[in-house]
Amino acid sequence: MERATTEQGQGRGTQGGSAGGASLQSSRGSTTIADAVVTKIAGIAAREVSGVHNLGGGASRAVGAVTQRVGIGDERSQGVSVEVGEREAAVDLKLVIDYGESIPQVSEQIRDNVVKRIEGITGLSVTEVNLTVNDLYFPGDDEPDEEPRVS
Amino acid sequence: MATPPAPSAAQSPELAVGESTRVLIARLALDAALALDGVAGPEAGPGRVWTTPAGSERLDGVVVTAVPGGRYGVTLHLVCELVPLHPLADRIRERLARAVTATGLEEALGPVDIAFEDVAPEPAGSGGPEPAEASAP
């Protein structure tokens, strides 16, 4: 995990951290925000948008389903990667969108919400939110293909 | 480098008698952080390295180390909720400063570093912040 620094506010300097995230240095100490925090904020913000069915590529969703079942995975960071710099963050998201939604509209709403949440919570400026829509969800995708043989 | 004496039990009856200044500050720092809305809990870290032993118990999520000048620097490792984090960190520092002053340890408190390591899971049944509705095409 990388850790970077950020400088905000009058009379404040910067200081590198040790294990990933953004850091704000003041005379009374530093505040560090780990990459995992920015990742989860982005994942939560994307899921808040109507039309987003899931996050992650096919492989990561399959692996995520297993890891979450055994309690070691976190759905909120699935399909999200972030790069956090001194003052800025860039976000990449992999998405599954509900069939029938306007992908350009949903994408714009995701960008707006991700930027709003990350900037509001961490103070970092979000320079880019790159989206990859790698699947569509159809109602019924989750239903079993065959009727059960026993009642 | 003079180490400030630990307060007497009369000054701080809620603190265990005989604890070192370092442990007292660790306990106050953890209490100050966990008392605030927006802090979900401490994060002990991989291998539980972010811990201060306090006798038979361990204070997870806080590391206190001596710094030059006879003071003690505090590092808090916390799990947060989805709230503005820099104002939250400032509130933690202010609360800790008040607690330390109340126990007579203000001369011993050095820099207070705060690391937000993770975001708390949303409570069951919580929909989180208001959803951003997709407008009809």
| ipTM of this complex prediction, to 2 decimal places | 0.72
Asked if A33 and B85 come within 8 Å (Cβ–Cβ), the reply is: yes
Distance from CA of B30 to the nearest CA of A (A): 16
Interfacial A residues in 63-92 facing B (CB < 8 Å): 74, 76
pTM metric for this prediction: 0.74
Q: Which residues pair with B57 in a beta bridge?
A: B54
DSSP B67-101: ETTTEEEEEEEEEE-SS-HHHHHHHHHHHHHHHHH
Residue A146 pLDDT grade (very low, low, confident, very high; cuts 50, 70, 90): low
According to the model, what pLDDT value does residue A93 have? 96
- Reference A29, options B3, B71, B82, B5; nearest CA is B71
According to the model, what pLDDT value does residue A149 have? 73
CA A139/CA A135 separation, integer angstroms: 13
Average per-residue pLDDT for chain A: 80
| Lowest mean pLDDT, pick from A131-135, B79-83, B119-123 | B119-123
Q: Which residues pair with A76 in a beta bridge?
A: none
Instruction: Determine contact: A121 vs chain B, CB below 8 A.
Output: yes
* Alpha-carbon distances of A67 from A64, A73, A75, A141, rounded to whole Å: 5, 5, 9, 21
Percent of chain A with pLDDT over 90: 54
Asked if B83 and A121 come within 8 Å (Cβ–Cβ), the reply is: yes
Asked if A76 and B119 come within 8 Å (Cβ–Cβ), the reply is: yes
Residue A10 pLDDT exceeds 50: no
Instruction: Determine contact: A53 vs chain B, CB below 8 A.
Output: no
DSSP A14-54: ----SSSBEEEEETTEEEEE-HHHHHHHHHHHHHTBTTEEE
Residue A108 pLDDT exceeds 50: yes
Angle between helix B21-34 and B85-102 (nearest 10): 140
Instruction: Determine contact: A102 vs chain B, CB below 8 A.
Output: yes
Angle between helix A103-122 and A35-47 (nearest 10): 140
- Reference B30, options B69, B72, B76, B89; nearest CA is B76
Question: Most B CBs within 10 Å: which of A101, A121, A125, as the mutation test of the B interface?
Answer: A121
Q: Dig out the tokens for A96 from the structure.
A: 């599954």
Asked if A40 and B119 come within 8 Å (Cβ–Cβ), the reply is: yes
